[in-house]
Chain A
Amino acid sequence: METDVLVIGKGIAGVVAAANLAKSGKKVSIIARGYGATALSSGCLDVLSYIPQVQGIAQPPLSGFKMLAITNNNHPYIIAGEGDAGKAEEIVSEAFANLPEEIKELYVGSLESNFYVITGFGTLKPTTFVQKPLEPAIIGDEPKKILLTGINGLLDFNPVMATSVAALDLKKRSLGHIKVKAAKVSVKGVEGIPTLTTSTIASVLGEKEAFNDFKSELSKIAKSEEPDVILLPSIFTTPELVKSIEELENACGCKIGEVAMAPPNAAGLRIQRVLNNICEKMGIKTYQIMNVTPVIKDGRVEKVIGEQTVLFGKTKELEFKADNFILATGDFISEGLVCEVDEELNRTFKESVFNLPLYIPSEYFATLDPFNPSGQPFSKIGVMVNSNMKPVDHNGKVVYDNLYAAGSILGYYDYRAEKSGMGVAITTAYKAAKSILGR
């Protein structure tokens, strides 16, 4: 197969880069191995909320860049801005303005402000854009009474626990005008299932009868509790169910929304579905590939050889030739980065396709507090790039002239601690595409 640009990875970074290139007339293909962290994510577009070692929330998100340029000038945002906070702000704004329409349609929010949303654990998560079904979960200035409503039998969302966590978190952040209360509702046809998941509930609610029953149960609760907002677990997995939210709102006389939950989370699946549709619509060919081996010639990536599983572990090889390559394979979750441990428990970190040089912080591997506000050292492991998003070695020398990297494969930042995952992915993908287009 021959193409202008080959993107490796089909998460948000891969597809945003591919879409920007395809829009400018480049022939683009994507090879990917299953879904990655985008499909497993909260689906929120975090830009920047926390800066490690700095108190408080960046408000608006881009206002944090000046501090970032001082504390961590290797941060992908700052690198994309050629070392300058102001230029970094510009490139982020440009990247978001150039997002494919299908993604924009899915979200509410703007780069002008960060806000909190309530998650399925009751914590308050700062973010910049949320998908429309999560809009009611946004904590605004208006006083609100929120009913966190679980579904009987669904263990993944415990409204009582979430409510007590939310009450504490709201108090801690002086957001006393928001009241939370727990409730539970039944869905007909899922009683007694020991392994009940949100996707099973979604598939049952796809049937008219079960949906109408659920609607009337929910409206009874709404009548007795009179909340401003009812938040449900993430059950709106299909476009049709998302449309039905309005019907539920009319029956209940209040806003209905969902909370971001641990995977599999509806919002993560919705954005992945949109990404798939974008590829389809823009004629970006995608291939399911299990293992990739690059072929290097004269300091350039000549082609990659992809191993495709035919069936039952048997493989065939496909060859992909391209002028330029974008690496967007993600970090440890999607195995863009891997950690090998030998018998003496020594860890070796590797970039799994090109074996690129990695930035590895000289600190210890991880801290005992999983939610350490300074982040986790292992999270910062990743590929080093120059301002064109070309991977470089420890001396700053470009590794392969036609290779670019974008998304969470990049090093020097901790998207979990900063709440910057999607923002960095979108920005670096846009920058990589821009570099290839020579703009």
Chain B
Amino acid sequence: MVDLSFYRKVQESIDGCIKCGLCLTICPTFEVLKGGQFGGPRYLSAELQRHLMEFGKIAYDASYLCTICRHCEFVCPGNVATPAATLFLRQVLSELKLSAKPASDVNEGLKGMLEHGNPYFISSEMKGEWLEEIDGVAGGKAEIIGWVGCTSSIRLPELAQAFYQSLKKACGNDFTVLGSEEWCCGKPAFLLGGKDTAVKLASESINRIKKTGAKTLVTPCPACLSAFKYEYKEWYGLEPPTPKVLHYSEFVKELLDKGAISFRNVAGELPEKIIYHDPCELGRGLGIYDEPREVLEAIPGILVLEYDDKRENSKCCGGGGGMFGVYSDLSMAIAARKLKEALKMGAKALVSSCPACMLNFKYAAINYEIPIEVLDLSQVVEKAVSQKS
């Protein structure tokens, strides 16, 4: 059911809109669509919500054109929570079980997620293939559990493997993963408006994590992380699966500070000039800007470049908020702009610390034939890490 107290909060925040248009200057979708069919954040929150009935079909087309990157929320002088308004719209649309696209696709998607335990509708065995390829071991009891996430396990085995191997090197038998047994954290369902589906997925994930007896959970995926850290408690009424949940960058930084690992020179093995992209969910969502940078800067042999718009002002890759699933062409068009900018600045590789960003960037680089390597932080770390004896 749609949460009415949430609705009231959204309504209140919308009244803060002063129609200044600052949100139009930073919205990634608005930039690429040039405002044609999509009126931008202020339209999505202030105008659409006030006249939901009159807008009809336009409402649900527009509501899935938002990447929930939260950049608009961060520049808004009126404190308008456009991403929240968007999510509210999606929850309403999901409740209505509409038969037209894209709502029908979304409803099908939610059903599939529940059945397969991942948003890619792939069998459990296939989800564990990345681990088999490197002869890794899943399950068992351990202090630290590595939560790989669906996108990494299924679409980005190179990321999943680098994540596993780097932490295995650093933590040995204290570290385990679930492999094919890993379930969906529930976040994609939640973002698409299916809160009930999300709760079911979350409960199952908690059960599976609890079996390992782990005290700390580490994940390369900011979406999973924010689900474990906040959404489970605030939205679903569930406790986090482990007492401590950390992003990969935070965990590596901890190991580095403790002196448990060190980095060797990687000159010649990795592109010399890399540019760091702040994932929206990690940066604006969780406030993690420094750790990935500090980890990268600690690796000898690479030079870390920065975008003009970085940290709080980082531009979205276009792959968030479920948009990659609904309008993947648009997602890639947004990513391509950012890749071209990186190329102009002389970067040979783009490093992100979010699988959703990496996937979108990777596909965009191929589709738009942009000669730049796309890497995750874990791949860079894996190359450089060596255990302190």
Which residues of A come within 8 Å of B, CB atoms?
A: 33-37, 39-40, 189-190, 193, 195-197, 199-200, 203-204, 237-239, 263-264, 269, 273, 276, 280, 286-288, 290, 308-314, 316, 333-335
Q: Mark B30-66, 1 if CB is under 8 A from A, else 0.
A: 1100111001100000000000000000000000000
B104 in contact (CB, < 8 A)? no
B113 in contact (CB, < 8 A)? no
Select one of A34, A189, A204, A314 contacting B234, CB under 8 A: A314
A197 touches B20 (CB 8 A): no
Residues of the A chain whose Cβ atoms lie less than 8 Å from the Cβ of B39: 195
Among B10, B25, B40, B87, max chain A CB count under 10 A is at: B25
Bound together, the chains give a CA A409 to CA B235 distance in angstroms of: 37
Residues of the B chain whose Cβ atoms lie less than 8 Å from the Cβ of A200: 24, 30-31, 34-35
B25 touches A204 (CB 8 A): no
Given A35-B75, A196-B35, list of 8 further CB < 8 A pairs?
Answer: A34-B76, A264-B21, A264-B24, A309-B81, A311-B70, A312-B235, A314-B234, A314-B235
Q: Pick 24 A–B contacts, CB within 8 A, sort by A.
A: A35-B75, A35-B77, A36-B77, A40-B77, A193-B34, A193-B35, A195-B39, A195-B40, A196-B35, A197-B24, A199-B21, A199-B30, A203-B31, A264-B21, A264-B25, A273-B313, A280-B310, A280-B311, A309-B73, A311-B231, A313-B9, A314-B230, A314-B235, A333-B77
A276 touches B284 (CB 8 A): no
Residue on B nearest A268 in the bound complex, by CB: B22
B267 in contact (CB, < 8 A)? no
Bound together, the chains give a CA A310 to CA B35 distance in angstroms of: 28
**B residues 74-133 touching A (CB-CB < 8 Å):** 74-79, 81, 83-84, 87
Residues of the A chain whose Cβ atoms lie less than 8 Å from the Cβ of B230: 310-311, 314, 316
Among A311, A313, A314, A316, max chain B CB count under 10 A is at: A311
A312 touches B84 (CB 8 A): yes
Residues of the B chain whose Cβ atoms lie less than 8 Å from the Cβ of A334: 77
Residues of the B chain whose Cβ atoms lie less than 8 Å from the Cβ of A313: 6, 9-10, 13, 81, 84
B73 touches A34 (CB 8 A): yes
B24 touches A199 (CB 8 A): yes
Shortest distance from the beta carbon of A302 to any chain B beta carbon, whole Å: 23
Select one of B34, B234, B313 contacting A203, CB under 8 A: B34
Which residues of B come within 8 Å of A, CB atoms?
A: 6, 9-10, 13, 16, 18, 20-22, 24-25, 30-31, 34-36, 39-40, 70, 73-79, 81, 83-84, 87, 226, 230-231, 234-235, 284-287, 308, 310-313
Bound together, the chains give a CA A39 to CA B13 distance in angstroms of: 20
Bound together, the chains give a CA A195 to CA B34 distance in angstroms of: 9
Among A35, A199, A264, A288, max chain B CB count under 10 A is at: A199
Residue on A nearest B76 in the bound complex, by CB: A34
Shortest distance from the beta carbon of B192 to any chain A beta carbon, whole Å: 13
Shortest distance from the beta carbon of A244 to any chain B beta carbon, whole Å: 14
Select one of B35, B234, B285 contacting A197, CB under 8 A: B35
Bound together, the chains give a CA A310 to CA B22 distance in angstroms of: 21
Bound together, the chains give a CA A264 to CA B77 distance in angstroms of: 12
Among B10, B18, B77, max chain A CB count under 10 A is at: B77
Shortest distance from the beta carbon of A97 to any chain B beta carbon, whole Å: 28
Shortest distance from the beta carbon of A353 to any chain B beta carbon, whole Å: 14
Residue on B nearest A39 in the bound complex, by CB: B22
Known: A35-B22, A263-B20, A288-B312. A311 touches B83 (CB 8 A): yes
Residues of the A chain whose Cβ atoms lie less than 8 Å from the Cβ of B25: 197, 199, 237, 264, 269
A37 touches B77 (CB 8 A): yes
Bound together, the chains give a CA A333 to CA B18 distance in angstroms of: 8
Shortest distance from the beta carbon of B195 to any chain A beta carbon, whole Å: 11
Closest CB pairs A-B (n = 7): A199-B25, A314-B234, A264-B21, A312-B84, A34-B76, A195-B35, A263-B20
A335 touches B20 (CB 8 A): no
